[in-house]
Amino acid sequence: MSEGVHVVCPHCGGVNRLPAERFTQGSAREGHCGHCKKSLFDGHPVELDGAALARHVARNDIPLLVDFWAPWCGPCRMMAPVFERLTAELEPRLRMAKLNTEAEPETASQLRIMSIPTLVLYAGGGEKARVSGAMDAGRLRAWIQQHL
């Protein structure tokens, strides 16, 4: 990380390099994209499609937690506000994102998403952990901490 921390912009997909000190000093949240000039962290989950997911997994140096969900899924809707709150709390140490499996069935199939909601934690360019089912804030926070 001496060269910096690579962060994919949630708006344009550009890859930015932030000084590692910004993460240790807590000022990374204030970072802006060098391409589109928008905030790199805004306290909300990033909406991804299959291509954007691949880019975020491959190019982010920070861990990525993806909520695979669908609009018709009751447990998904129940967990959405929890996921939103934790995003504001955990950024920029963790990028949190959502992928609508109804809109991206091929991606869900390729990743073997069998039930929703399913949460997948990516780090170092690959999948690190996976869990299915809705969780409250305490259980979700504990699961994230266990795997980071």
pLDDT tens-digit series, residues 36-74: 999 999 999 999 999 999 999 999 999 999 999 999 999
- Looking at residue 28, its pLDDT comes to 73
Return d(Cα 113, Cα 111) in angstroms, integer.
6
What φ, ψ does residue 98 adopt, rounded to 5°?
Answer: -130, 145
- Looking at residue 1, its pLDDT comes to 39
Return d(Cα 116, Cα 101) in angstroms, integer.
9
Closest-CA residue to 130 (of 139, 116, 122, 120): 120
What's at 29, amino acid-wise? R
Residues of the chain with pLDDT under 70: 1-2, 24-26
| Beta strand ranges found along 83-145 (DSSP E) | 95-100, 118-123, 126-132
List residues with catalytic annotation.
73, 76
Q: Are 67 and 28 in contact (CB under 8 A)?
A: no
Structure tokens at 25: 């000093």
